[in-house]
Amino acid sequence: MSELTRLTLTAAHEGLAQGHFTATELTQAYLDAIEAAGALNAYVLATPEKALEMAKASDARLASGEAGPLEGIPLGVKDNYAVEGVRTTAGSSILKHFVPPYESTVTANLWRDGAVLLGKLNQDEFAMGSSTETSAFGATVNPWRREGSSAPLVPGGSSGGSAAAVAAHLAAGAAGTDTGGSIRQPAAFTGTVGIKPTYGRCSRWGIIAYASSLDQAGPIARSVNDAALLLRSMAGHDPKDSTSAKLPVPDYEAAVGGSVKGMRIGIPREYRVDGMSGEIASLWDEGAQWLRDAGAEVVEISLPHSKYALPAYYIVALAEASSNLARYDGVRYGERVPGRDIVEMYEKTRADGFGAEVRRRIMIGTYVLSAGYYDAYYVRAQKVRTLIKRDFETVFAAGIDAVLAPATPSPAFGIGEKSGADPVEMYLQDVFTVTLNMAGLPGIAVPAGLSGEGLPLGLQLIGRPFGEEALFSLGQVIEEAAGRFTCPDEWWR
């Protein structure tokens, strides 16, 4: 690992500003690291020429005193963000040759602020998965391994490529998306920090949709402060997205290190679920004590409808996915498989272009929206969603400032371990994360310890709507108490 790639985003930003190294030198160090890390399969497409061109432009702006907030910082971007002129596939064969002629709003914001594109990062196909095993480009491998074992582990999903790249020092930070935990769960599995902002805080325009009422963009980074810097650039109102919130973007970095004295933190009793690892339960208790020691008040709360969140989420998300993915029919763009008539062309294109998990989710989503089942499944799930949202509103109205919970029910598992015959086993990975998406709330995952096998474990903080600043203050308390976590070796080089 180069000394330059060891730097946090915050330290790299300071080093560039002080002239200790150039953006071109920093970018080249990351490109060299990416080239040496093919075994991780974190990137589906590296863009070295574009990266060096952008770095050169950053050096010119740094020299002229016109540097942006992320000037010269090399980032990876999940492959469901449209980047103009760069292949964008959402991890699917059906889009394997798609090159968008437009730029997503979030990536446009990053380039506006001076960031450098290193390439596109692997993900579960159309963001449908919790392990990055459903990608048409093959699974991404977690840079972490169990102590004494060389068995490959998953990095989580669907933003597994983003999390693996940040953890392995193949990017200073990364843009991910979170529909039911797809930023927070991979962050917890890789010892990185990931934040899903409030729904509407970041524009969804130009992001390939999975479930439109749940999808939200957000960053994965190596520290709480790094995540704050990235979110400040990613967030903002966008007239092209009707769900984008017309609110000013705070200075999130200023909230990092802020006092948490007097904050009331809720511990939901319903989150102590069967099958949760004892290590995670004890870490949860330890995290609560860290917050008490910092001056916060920790109280038990009830979120009674949380137990229905997972099935309700998979009904809502899959129904929206079946509608969103109807556009991939071989007619307008994407791959096309010829048939005898238009119906056969549709059938062959979608059967050949979509992987097994995507086909499964489309079929379930279409079923719950079909005549005779719409009221029984979809309408009922939306009613449960309202009750979940109301649970959070009730505890926030009672004076709770944030909720502390585990991010995942276990540490990272082996590749192939949960992708067998029963998909429900994989879906249960989202048990602690989906409630936030259903309620549209912000949540941050912060590494808080290591398992007995030496794997990262994360805690999750859930905030009030547009209360990301409080999450950064609380997240910093956990980071300072637990320390930061780096892979003990670089076996992939």
Residues that are catalytic = 78, 158, 182
Output DSSP code: residue 81.
Answer: B
Structure tokens at 441: 């709330």
Residue 116 pairs in a beta bridge with: 74
Residue 458 pairs in a beta bridge with: 447
Cα 368 from chain centroid (whole Å):
27
- The radius of gyration of the chain's CA atoms, rounded to the nearest angstrom, is 21
State yes or no: cis peptide before 104, omega within 30 of 0.
Answer: no
Strand ordering across the sheet containing 264-268: 43-46, 116-121, 74-78, 173-178, 216-221, 193-196, 443-450, 456-463, 402-406, 264-268, 297-301
Q: Which of 49, 110, 31, 32 is nearest to 78 (CA)?
A: 110
DSSP codes joined into one string, 109-150: HHHHTT-EEEEEEP-SGGG--SSS-S-TT-----S---TT--
Structure tokens at 274: 């069967």
Q: Which of 359, 380, 358 is nearest to 369 (CA)?
A: 380
Q: How many helices (H) and strands (E) does the chain have?
A: 17, 11
**What is the identity of the amino acid at 331?**
V
* Cα four-point dihedral sign 19, 22, 27, 30: negative
Q: How many CB atoms lie within 10 A of CB 220?
A: 34
Give the residue carrying structure tokens 């952008």.
54
Residues 131 and 413: their CA atoms lie apart, in Å, by 9
Q: Would you call 267 helix, strand, or coil by DSSP?
A: strand
Q: How many CB atoms lie within 10 A of CB 148?
A: 7
Q: Would you call 102 helix, strand, or coil by DSSP?
A: coil
Residues 179 and 440: their CA atoms lie apart, in Å, by 10
Residues 102 and 333: their CA atoms lie apart, in Å, by 14
Residue pair 433/181 in contact (Cβ under 8 Å)? The answer is yes
Helical packing angle, 23-36 and 48-64, nearest 10°: 160
Residues 304 and 47: their CA atoms lie apart, in Å, by 48
Residue 194 main-chain phi, psi, to 5 deg: -135, 135
Structure tokens at 375: 């009221």
Structure tokens at 200: 């509407």
